[in-house]
Structure 1
Amino acid sequence: MATQTVLADTIELVCKCLDDILPSNGTTATIAVDLEGDKLCREGTIAIMQLYREQSTTVWLIDVTTLKDLAFDTVNAEGRSLRGVLEDKDIKKIFYDVRNDSDALYHHYSIHIKNPYDLQILELAVRHHSRRQTRFLNGLARVIDQYLRPNAEWKAVKEAGVKLFRPSDGGSYKVFESRPLDPRIAAYCAQDVILLFDLGDVMKRILGHAYDRIWEDRVIAASNARVAETHSSTYRPNGPHKAISPII
């Protein structure tokens, strides 16, 4: 479990992030990814990209507001960049609802996510397998609560962060772009991405052997289809249609 959260707002820290998330022993990396911003999609902005490698001690918050293109195009001593990581077909990227993350990355920075793995689709597969209602998709907070049963501290961090950007509480999504970054927002950004690995593991265990036999290929195909969808000029990043489950 990660023990520290680092806001990478310099090229030196981006290089340290790359060194941490990419193994040096030649093994294939799997990275949990999330993004935050003001109206996160082609119509809004990317403020922060959260990255976490399982078993790392660090959650990285990439400061896109400050670094802009340098966030993605800075290269480390090995010649690797975050653009390259996101577009590397051999590095699995775990998201929960990749759609608007992909939409924003593609239209603002021309980044085409390769090898995405969308846990929202995996959760839909679990409900199909369990013969539960599958008409609508579930959001991340609901799924974490249902499958992981987070403690009171996690819930308090979540609510404190949400209040800062939820308009009905007097908040604004501009808080993700405000610098210095509010520590409550930093904590909010970090804690979800840490849990994506555990969330995926729990849902795969529920599926058991059916995951390998039936669902793995379907989840991967649907994840890639979601990314391709966001490249279209007809993609609509917001609206009630996004809650309707796809056929998998």
Structure 2
Amino acid sequence: GHSMSSALVAPSGAGGLFQGARDHSYQESFPGMSYQALYSQLHPYVAQVLDHFLENVFEESTHALTIYVMQYQWSGARIADSFGNEWLLRGRILEAVAYWIRAKARKLDSAVLGNQSSEPRLREFAQISKQQLEGACYQTSPNEVLGEFIFSLAVTLLGREAACLGSLLGALLLTSTHREDTMSMIEFPACLLATMVQKLEEVVAMAGKVVVETYVMNELMSRDDSQSMMMGLSQHYTVDASSGTVDVHSTSRDEAYMRSRFRVNLIDSYGSLIKLLEHLEYLRHHFTDLSLAVDFEGMRLCRTGALCLVQLSCSADQTLVYVLDVHLLGKKAFSMKTRNGTCLKGLLEDPNLKKVWFDPRNDVDALYYQFAISPRGVFDLQLAEVADRRNRGFNVNFVQGLHKLLCQCPQLTEEQKTFAGRINDMGKNLFEPNNGGSYEVFQQRPLHPIILVYAAHDARYLLTLHEQFYNALASTPWMVRVQAASDWRSRWWMHRTYVVPTSDAPDI
């Protein structure tokens, strides 16, 4: 990724993008240029973008991308307005390419659902490919057959204009996936498509990174605007509690991403959802004591208030928070299944999988009435905190909020506690009407960076709090009482009419 970026933004004399393709003066103005003339001027540059960035060139793709660039608008401006500035032209072409690839990724993502138009073709492709692979060892390389299968699948679903992406996907999957895994994915096409979507999302994020670097280095875009663009093209983020900054990463394999103590993975495609469910399925089978921290955000969340986001964190890796965009994914966010039948609905309803929650009452009300989900195996941290105070001899009349518990948590550093207060205030200023905000911010896309971090932060330390209260209560009678009261709260949806939760501490 780093070498690819440096090549694309290299100075014109260093052999970077467009080197040797400047057969005309960039100072010339083209206000009256004909369609064909503009096409002829752009075509070689688009071809070089494909050659440098995707490492392949197909005329069908070059033609389609050239037309796309010609029609693309940058805040009302068109590509012909960029010919006087070489760096602006470079950035705008690659920006259009990034959004073109994202559009193709979304089209491929729709096929993950197994819609009627794609499913028969996928089954046919799988059968043909299996037959070819059986004889591959006698005729040609198995990898060659697999690569051709992936290429053909991409072109069939996305059109001949996506030949460049089919070639790229074939190469990426064969270098990053074991042959046995690829064969297994062919037998379950949704899994293969999910992997293809994931790879394209990474390509889009890398393209966005290069675009932003080009714009910022040449003072064509502010850093705030560049951050907004990158967040709209990426799924991986890290949060630095000490500085309060958010960094955007192209892939989950980025070294800085893997080192971070607060990572966020936005799940906003069916492909990334399938990959997440497969990962949770793996953890479920390899960690017998696995726990999930769960939290939800929405518009006045309850049976009638729209549920927009789900945040998940696993005890196997507490530094990573998944944020599922239910507003985009819809009911499939809970019902989509892996080849082995794992789905989020099933995980939430599994009584043998502990779900660590902070006051689930409104959340379970929304889950039941909007998605027919009745969670089980719930452990309520708010009730555990009440029990902890009573166990220490305090008279407790009211429950406490999550922010207060975090500020009192001995496992958190002072910097983490300060950040907890800051992000809590910043988030509420955006969605609390009393603070001048609006709950509609949860439905705005791309998701506001503060809302993304606010949501992820709500789930980041739930397992830390669980460890604190579990250690304090495990050897006392309070633990059984907390679990019983948590079970009762997890059935809050059973009230015939919606009951607004109060801050009164219950009699556990």
Is TM more than 0.5 here? yes
Q: Residue by residue, what CA displacement relative to the aligned partner does 1:118-154 show, whole Å, maximum 9, x if unpaired?
A: 0011001011111223111111111111224543233
**Greater relative contact order: 1 or 2 (C-alpha under 8 angstroms, separation 6 or more)?**
1
Q: 1:17, CA displacement in angstroms? A: 1.9
Distance of 2:263 and 2:408 partners within structure 1: 26
Superposed, 1:123-138 pairs within 5 Å as: 123-138=385-400
2:408 is aligned, of 146, 153, 161, to: 146
Instruction: Return the match for 2:505 from 236, 245, 248.
Output: 245
Amino acid aligned to 1:216: M
1:225 lines up with 2:488 in the alignment: yes
Structure 1 pair 87–133 and aligned structure 2 pair: CA distance change class (3 A)? same
The equivalences for 1:12-91 within 5 A come to 12-22=271-281, 23=283, 24-25=285-286, 27-56=288-317, 57-91=319-353
**Which has the larger displacement, 222-231 or 18-27?**
18-27
Match of 1:185 in 2: 451
Distance, in Å, in 2 between the alignment partners of 1:219 and 1:89 is 16
For structure 1, the 5+ residue unaligned runs are none
Q: Secondary structure at the match of 1:47?
A: strand
CA contact (8 A) 1:21 1:29 kept: no
Higher helix share: 2
Conservation of the 8 A alpha-carbon contact between 2:380 and 2:482: yes
TM-score when scaled to structure 1? 0.91
Q: C-alpha separation between the residues in 2 aligned to 1:180 and 1:202? A: 36
Q: Distance in 1 between matches of 2:470 and 2:425?
A: 28
Deviations 1:161-212 (A, max 9, x none): 22111212211111111111011111111112110111122223344xxx33
Q: Residue deviations 1:81-115, cap 9 Å, x none? A: 00010011111100000111100001111101010
Structure 2 residue matching 1:78: 3-state secondary structure: coil
Alignment root-mean-square deviation, CA = 1.8
SS at structure 2 position matched to 1:111? coil
Could you say which residue in structure 2 is the equivalent of 1:164?
Answer: 430
Matched residues in 2 for 1:67 and 1:103: separation?
Answer: 20
Q: Which runs of structure 1 show a deviation greater than 6 angstroms over 4 or more consecutive aligned residues?
A: none
**Percent of aligned positions with the same letter in both sequences?**
34
Take 1:28 and 1:203, find their aligned partners in 2: how far apart are those partners? 17
Cα separation, 2, equivalents of 1:131 and 1:26:
36
Relative to structure 1, the CA distance from residue 2 to residue 102 in structure 2 (aligned partners, 3 Å threshold; closer, same or farther) is farther
Report the count of equivalent residues.
242
Q: 1:78: Cα distance to partner? A: 2.6
| SS of residue paired to 2:322 | strand
2:337 counterpart SS class: coil
Q: What TM-score results when the alignment is normalised by the length of structure 2? A: 0.46
Q: Retained in 2: the 8 A contact 1:28–1:90?
A: no
Structure index of larger Rg: 2
